[in-house]
Amino acid sequence: MRVNFRRARGTANTEATLAAALERDGRSLHSTARSAADVTCYSLNVANAPALIAEMAGAGCVTIAGGPHASACWVEVARAADYVVVGEGERTLARLLDAIEAGSAAPITGTATAAGGLVPTDHAVRLDAYPPFSHRKGFIECSRGCPHACAYCQTPRLFPGGMRHRSIEACVETARALPDVRFVTPNAFAYGSDGRTPRFGKVRRLLTSLAREDATIWFGTFPSEVRPEFVTDEALELLRSFCANTRVHFGLQSGSDRVLAALGRGHTVVDGMIAVDRVLDHGFVPVVDLILGFPFETDAEQEATLVLAEHLAGRGCRVHAHRFMPLPGTPLAKYPARALVPTARRRLGRLALDGKLTGSVSDLG
């Protein structure tokens, strides 16, 4: 049985992860630009979902959907796909493919169908059980899950149960052949910890073990951003000693403490400013995420975020600004972004022209 993976925007790392997981079970995953026999797997996110759902509905093969959008909207997606993998895919997809090949109609845990509904999953993936990639290289996923529950974020909903980690030995083994070692994690400085209290000794052991003369390590920058309260002198000294990045990327999200509290961010604006000071003190460029247009934000609170963006840009930070987007499966899923204040687009556009702001500025107006 030939199993294909439909390439689409934002799915390269998922494809590499699933290819490695299926390889372990003796299967190959073939990359394809459209649906193809016998089975085509799709990873749906908010950007690619409309087009891929339409494609699945007309596909002439067995279709399997997974990813954050499919997991959150499995009822809708199951109307177009033959099967939906809800949650983590590594083990569930292998089980599902075995059942399809065997012609079995027995329900597979962690999957949903239009006729049978959802059969809840019975496991959480242990990262060491699956390599992050094989011949198709991606980022090393050193940690998965997050104990925080920011109201706009899909991560804690897709990977419930807190934070788990790939072992140092497994990270080193994966990194062995890579000249450029890059990680994906919700919070790089939380490696080895519960995601709330740092264990920098563990981060140090990871980076020490990875160090090789012919390798460049990137940590604490996209796609392994950090949280502001984890930005300490010790963490930054580790980056200086072992890593190549000149930037440290973290989310501050709003210039209003009331908005941060309502989102459940677990830090204040001042916590973010302390992180900015530390990053600058250590000679790195802070890259700071901000989001405008939260549904419950007032004009004054949005103005505070704009002022913060201008302040950060004036201090030599790179601002990464986005308009709020309601993501399925999150507490804010049903709330559209509120309008932006009249000056927002012009002010952010000016920062972008000066090279101090990136992000979806074109979507902000």
Chain residues that interact with ligand SF4, rule: CB under 6 A: 146, 148-150, 153, 155-156, 186, 227
Nearer to ligand SF4, 4 or 143 (CB): 143
Least gap, CB of 238 to ligand SF4 (angstroms):
20
Alpha-carbon distance of 263 to 253, in angstroms, equals 10
- Please report the DSSP string for 211-252 in residue order: --TT-EEE-SSTTS-B-GGG--HHHHHHHHHH---SEEEEEE
Smaller CB distance to ligand SF4: residue 68 or 78?
68
Min dist CB 148 to ligand SF4, Å, is 4
Phi-psi category of residue 161: left, alpha or beta, with phi > 0 → left and psi -120 to 50 → alpha:
left
The distance of closest approach from Cβ of residue 251 to ligand SF4 in the complex, given in angstroms and rounded to an integer, is 6
Distance CA 155, CA 167 (A): 21
Residues 219 and 285: beta-carbon distance below 8 Å: no
Closest CA to 87 of 109, 55, 115: 109
Cα dihedral sign for 229, 230, 235, 240?
A: negative
* Residue with Cβ nearer ligand SF4 (37 or 296): 296
In whole angstroms, the minimum distance from the beta carbon of 32 to ligand SF4 comes to: 31
For ligand SF4, which is the closer residue by CB, 108 or 153? Answer: 153
In angstroms, the CA 365 to CA 165 distance is 40
Least distance (Å) between residue 62 CB and ligand SF4? 33
Alpha carbon distance 152, 73 (integer Å): 16
Neighbours of 120 (CB within 10 A): 10
Beta bridge partners of residue 107, listed in sequence order: none
Minimum Å distance from CB 325 to ligand SF4? Answer: 13
Closer residue to ligand SF4 (CB): 12 or 327: 327
CB of 345 to ligand SF4, least distance (A): 25
Beta strands in 230-348 (DSSP E): 247-253, 285-292, 318-323
Smallest distance from ligand SF4 to CB 103, Å: 40
CB 196 within 8 A of CB 233: no
In the complex with ligand SF4, the residue whose CB is nearer, 4 or 154, is 154
First to last CA, the chain: 48
Q: Of 41 and 287, which CB lies nearer to ligand SF4 in the complex structure?
A: 287
Region at 67 (left for phi over 0; alpha for psi -120 to 50; beta for the rest): left
Nearer Cβ to ligand SF4, position 52 or 127? 127
Residue whose CB is less far from ligand SF4, 186 or 272: 186
Q: How far is the CB of 156 from ligand SF4 (least distance, A)?
A: 5
C-alpha distances out from residue 124 to 110, 163, 170, 180, Å? 10, 11, 18, 29
